[in-house]
Structure 1
Amino acid sequence: MSVTLAIVIAVVVVALVFDYTNGFHDAANAIATSVSTRALTPKVALALAAIMNFVGAFLGQKVAHTVSDTISPPESNHGLIIVMAGLIGAIVWNLITWYFGLPSSSSHALIGGLVGAALAATVAVSWDTVLQKVVIPMFISPLVAFALGGSVMLAILWIFKGAGPHKANRGFRIMQTVSAAAMALGHGLQDAQKTMGVIFLALLTGGYVGADDDLPLWVIFAAAAAISLGTWAGGWRIMRTLGRRIIALDPPQGFAAESVAASVLYTTAFVYEAPISTTHTITSAVMGVGATKRLSAVRWGVARTILAAWVLTFPMAASVAALSYFILHGITRL
């Protein structure tokens, strides 16, 4: 086995580990609202999310190619070390925010890690791609989710104003099965593709695929399986934050938040090819829905803590990745 092939295999394994951590870190995105409103039991919700994550991974490749275009490492073992360091930065930040129960963005951790490793290695970063497909959507998608969440919730309140609370809650609990499935499908569509993009970047850097090639089927299957297994493992710490600590949700609110978040995920993936954060999207939708009740219903202190994690994600993942690059590069030169 050549050294290059060995490093490529190592990068693929680490990428799938990241995908797994993404699954258990972001499992709460799809199921927290359904579990907190008792529309679904935790085990049923996790199974549903895992299955829909797997299916969603097969629905497109545009986001994957956007991720692979973020940096341009040299086609060499050194380039593979850069990709490896970027993944390590993302994994470390995922684990830190999971431990503290903060729903931060795995997407921005990954992009931040790749950019940090590239800067440390003084290789090209596609700043146009980072700005247009990552930074701008990072700010716009939560604002859109917040506004749409509030608008959809107001529409639901107006349409069902004559319905009894018990009857309405029972109906929306049933509808939440559909909205939770749609949210999980969108999570698989978005987040599994990010890992596919990194694996494709590693294969490209190692010289095993061409820049214009489609993703190999085994890459899609492996990424889909890893994120589904991670989702099944669950993310209970973050689930509590999304489901209860921001606002105590009822079934209509849960349905509104999930439906809005899923719509934003599909639009950005298919239309704008942007790897947005499922975490930012659902959290913002939850806050937008909650604000229609009254502004004080949203626990803004918790929201500020989450916002701080959002702001820190990109630079912190980049910093860890840069440090990882220097360590790995030093080891390979021994």
Structure 2
Amino acid sequence: MDAAFLALVVIVLVALAFDYTNGFHDAANAIAVAVSTKALTPRVALALAAVMNLVGALLSTEVAKTVGAGIIDAPEGDDGLRIVFAALIGAIVWNLITWYFGLPSSSSHALIGGLVGAALAAAHSVQWMGILDKVVIPMVLAPLIGFGLGYLFMLAILWTFRGAHVSRANRGFRYAQIVSSATMALGHGLQDAQKTMGVITLALYTSGELTANSSGDFEVPLWVVLAAALAISAGTYAGGFRIMRTLGRRIIQLTPAGGFSAQTVASGVMVTTATVFAVPVSTTHITTTSIMGVGATRRLSAVRWGVARSIMVAWVVTLPAAGAVAALVYFATDAVTG
């Protein structure tokens, strides 16, 4: 086994480790609301989320192609592999920091920030227009859409069931949350597992193990799809209880109807952006703002804006923080190999 192939194997394993941390970091996105409203027990919710993450990851590879080919122009050879490796370490470190403090930051943006930071450290080109179109604009619009639709959908639920018996309606919405939790996890698999697929495929391309077609695109190998799907599912089942408490209780105490509304809106946005637009949006951003939108239907003061502010700060610093760690890792690997 030569050194280049060994480096590729290490990068694939690190990528799957990132995928695993993504699963337990973002598992709360799919299940926190259902658990907080007592629609599901934590372990049952985690098992449901793990299965649906797996299904979602197997349905499409469009987001993977965007991440693999639309963010940076990684060079072929050892330097390209070092860029991918540094990007993954930067994303993993930031994931672990925010998980430790219970902040639902974006694993997607941590990975993208890592790619950009490592590419800049290596003095290689970054597709800035691609980042603007595929990352920055969706990063701004998706949370606003989540908040607005969450608010409107909850208003529609309140008006439709205004005369319903409260306990009977709550029971019905708890059952409905099983479905909405499943679709949330499906959307999470469609979005987040594909980002790891894209990075592994990028590593295969830079190492020469995979070639692009005549139009400059590449297909994601089946084994990459299966490995990424299984890794994120395993990570999801491992759980993310710190972040679950933040999303489920600290932003606002949700009712079963509110939980169903937030999950329905968030899953709809995630599935649409993955299948129609093929853009890597943050499942964390969309889930959090959907919850805020639902909570705002009571009154604006019902949302704990102090907690929301801390979460937003984590959002803002994720790209540069993960990029900075990735740049440092690249410099370290360059010093060792140079």
Normalised TM-score (structure 2): 0.98
Task: State the distance in 2 between where 1:278 and 1:154 align.
Answer: 23
1:43 is the counterpart of 2:48: no
Aligned residues: 333
Structure 2 counterpart SS, 1:124: coil
Between 1:20-29 and 1:121-130, the stretch displaced more is 121-130
Q: After alignment, is 165-174 or 213-222 more displaced? A: 213-222
1:16 counterpart residue number? 16
Runs of 4+ in 1 over 2 A off after TM superposition: none
Which residue of structure 2 lines up, in the alignment, with residue 319 of structure 1?
324
Deviation of 1:130 after TM superposition, in Å, equals: 0.7
Which residue in 2 is equivalent to 1:84? 85
1:285 matches 2:290: yes
Deviation at 1:272, TM superposition (A): 1.2
| SS class of match (1:58) | helix
Q: Show the counterpart of 1:196.
A: 197
Match of residue 28 from structure 1 = 28
Distance (Å, rounded) in 1 between the aligned partners of 2:110 and 2:212: 24
Instruction: Tell me how far 1:200 sits from its aligned partner.
Output: 0.2
Q: Distance in 2 between matches of 1:210 and 1:241?
A: 43
What is aligned with 1:2? 2
Alpha-carbon displacement from aligned partner over 1:121-146 (angstroms, at most 9, x marks no partner): 01011111111000100000000000
Paired AA for residue 192 in structure 1 = A
Tell me, yes or no, if structure 1 residue 218 matches structure 2 residue 223.
yes
Distance 1:124 1:243 in 2: 41
Is it true that 1:237 corresponds to 2:242 in the alignment? Answer: yes
1:37-61 per-residue CA deviation (whole Å, 9 max, x = no partner) reads 0000001000000000001001111
Cα distance in 1 for partners of 2:277, 2:100 equals 32
How far apart are the structure 2 equivalents of 1:18 and 1:211?
25
1:95 aligns with 2:96: yes
Among all aligned residue pairs of Structure 1 and Structure 2, give the percentage whose two residues are the same amino acid. Answer: 65
Cα-to-partner distance string for 1:143-182 (whole Å, 9 max, x where unaligned):
0000000000000000000001101100000000000000
TM-fit CA distance, 1:72: 1.3
CA distance in 1, matches of 2:14, 2:208: 19
Residue 217 of structure 1, CA deviation: 0.8
Structure 1 residues 169-208: aligned runs within 5 Å: 169-208=170-209
SS at match of 2:38: coil
Q: Which residue of 2 aligns with 1:142?
A: 143
Shift of 1:211: 2.1
What's the C-alpha RMSD, in Å, of the aligned pairs?
Answer: 0.6
2:333 to 323, 328, 334: 328
Q: Which residue of 1 aligns with 2:130?
A: 129
- For structure 2, list consecutive stretches of 5 or more residues without a partner in the other structure: none
What letter is aligned with 1:185?
L
What is aligned with 1:108? 109
For normalisation by structure 1, the TM-score amounts to: 0.99
Instruction: State the alpha-carbon separation in 2 of the partners of residues 295 and 13 from structure 1.
Output: 45
